[in-house]
Amino acid sequence: MSGGHDHHSGGLNLTLHVWRQKDAQAEGRFETYALQGISEHCSFLEMLDQLNEQLLREGRDPVAFDHDCREGICGSCGVVINGQAHGPDRETATCQLHMRRFHDGDTIYVEPFRAKAFPIQRDLVVDRSAFDRIVSKGGFVSVNTGAPQDANGLPVPKENADLAMDAASCIGCGACVAACPNAAAMLFVGAKISHLGLLPQGAPERRRRVLAMVEQMDRDGFGNCGNIYECEAACPKSISVENIARLNREYIVASACERPAVERIGD
């Protein structure tokens, strides 16, 4: 829109090492690019936009990266910046990271989220459908659209509602997996288990839910939790590792108490 202008005409000069990989099968490698005059007010993704404009002008393939809302809520974006998922800031998705966090002359390594369960599709784009598969096994309340009871018919203690909301704020970006030295998905699954398990609506199927979701999580090839807690730090929503403790508890109890016939939830 009219009226906008750059506050700083100088801007940052950066050296970027970006992971380039043609497709899932191809070999990947870092390529090096020099960028000049990047405003410190622009976001990290806007910096990549400018890189792509530059590449396009030079007749080179732009860098593919996932992004959509660019306000930290859709969970599409996510790259590893200098070894840190979503970059150096806490509680920040890549799209919310601003270039004022960097200095003139910096060298920045940009890599995709790496995990066996997140195969690379191109450059910085990875396939995170493993998360959807996990949710499809039990990350829901089995209620059909219809006429449930009045919304206030089921009081929920505020503390539980707040804790459930804390967990439910997960944006499914996968940074927890990316930052985990073991590529474990426990924070993602733990958040879902907490969100639904803390609410009375989710209680009836909590045991079947946790068994089914963990089974799928393991099948997708995520690693094991080592209680290193890098996930919590990388999470743009600061979801607490307390949720992993809850997941462990729920899983152990469910394993001990649930009847053996495990049919899928929702059948």
Partner 1 sequence: MISRFGAFLRSSIGKKALMAVTGLLLIGFLIVHVVGNLTLYADGDGTQFNAYAAKLEALGPLKVLAEVGLTVLFLAHIALGLRTALENREARPERYKDLAPKGRRTMASMTMVVTGAVLLVFLVIHVIDFRLADFSKVGLAKLVMERLTSPLGAGIYLVSMAFLGSHLWHAFQSLFQTLGLRHPSYAPTIKWVGSALALAIAGLFASFPVLCMMFEGQWPWS
Partner 2 sequence: MSTTAIQGSPKLVSKCPSGPMSERWDKHRFDLKLVNPANRRKYHVLVVGTGLAGASAAASLAEMGYRVTVLCIHDSPRRAHSIAAQGGINAAKNYPNDGDSIRRLFYDTVKGGDYRAREANVYRLAQVSNSIIDQCVAQGVPFARDYGGLLDNRSFGGAQVARTFYARGQTGQQLLIGAYHALMRQVGLGKVALFPRREMLDLVVVDGVARGVVARELTGGAIESYAADAVLLCTGGYGNVFFLSTNAKFSNATAIWRAHKRGALFGNPCFTQIHPTCIPVSGSYQSKLTLMSESLRNDGRVWVPKSKGDRRSPDQIPEADRDYYLERLYPSFGNLVPRDIASRRAKEMVDEGRGVGETAMAVYLDFRDAIQRDGAPKIREKYGNLFQMYERITADDPYHVPMRIYPAVHYTMGGLWVDYNLESTIPGLFVLGEANFSDHGANRLGASALMQGLADGYFVIPATIASHLAGRKLPKVTTDHAQFKQVEGEVQARLRRLLAIDGRRSADDLHRDLGLAMWEHCGMGRSDAGLSKGLAKIRALRSEFWENLRVLGQGEELNRELEKAGRVADFMELAELMVLDAQYRKESCGGHFRVEYQTEEGEALRDDANFCHVAAWEHTEEGGAMRWNLHQEPLSFEEVKLTQRSYK
Q: Which residues bind partner 1 (CB under 8 A)?
A: 28, 30, 80, 82-85, 88, 90, 109, 111, 114-117, 179, 181-184, 186, 214-215, 217-218, 221-234, 240-242, 244-253, 255, 258, 260
The answer to whether residues 67 and 171 touch, using CB atoms and an 8 Å cutoff, is no
CB of 206 to partner 2, least distance (A): 11
Q: How far is the CB of 69 from partner 1 (least distance, A)?
A: 23
Phi, psi torsion values for 110, nearest 5 degrees = -120, 120
Residue 193 C-beta: closest distance to partner 1, Å? 11
**φ, ψ for residue 75 (rounded to 5)?**
80, 10
Please identify which residue in 31, 49, 106, 242 interacts with partner 2, judged by CB under 8 A: 49
Using rule CB under 8 A, residue 158 touches partner 2 = yes
Of 201, 229, 242, 245, which lies in the binding site for partner 2, with binding defined by CB under 8 A? Answer: 201
Q: Binding segment for partner 2 among 175-183, 193-201, 223-231, 240-248 (CB under 8 A)?
A: 193-201
Among partner 1, partner 2, none, residue 33 binds (CB under 5-8 Å by kind) = none
Question: How many whole angstroms separate alpha carbon 110 and alpha carbon 91?
Answer: 19
Among 88, 127, 204, 219, binds partner 2 (CB under 8 A): 127
| Alpha-carbon torsion (80, 108, 55, 39), positive or negative | positive
Site string for partner 2, 204-243 (x = CB under 8 A): ----------------------------------------
Q: Which stretch binds partner 2 (CB under 8 A): 102-110, 139-147, 175-183, 223-231?
A: 139-147
Q: Tell me, what amino acid is at 19?
A: W
Q: Is 81 within 8 Å of 94 (Cβ atoms)?
A: yes
141 belongs to the binding site for partner 2 (CB under 8 A): yes
- 86: buried, middle or exposed (CB in 10 Å: 19+, 13-18, 0-12)? buried
Among 34, 53, 83, 181, contact with partner 2 (rule: CB under 8 A): 53
Least Cβ distance, residue 249 to partner 1 (angstroms):
3
SS (H, E, C) 161-201: HHHHHHHHCCCCCCHHHHHCCCCCCHHHHHHHHHHHHCCHH
- Dmax over Cα atoms in the chain, in whole Å? 68
Cα 188 versus chain centre, distance = 8
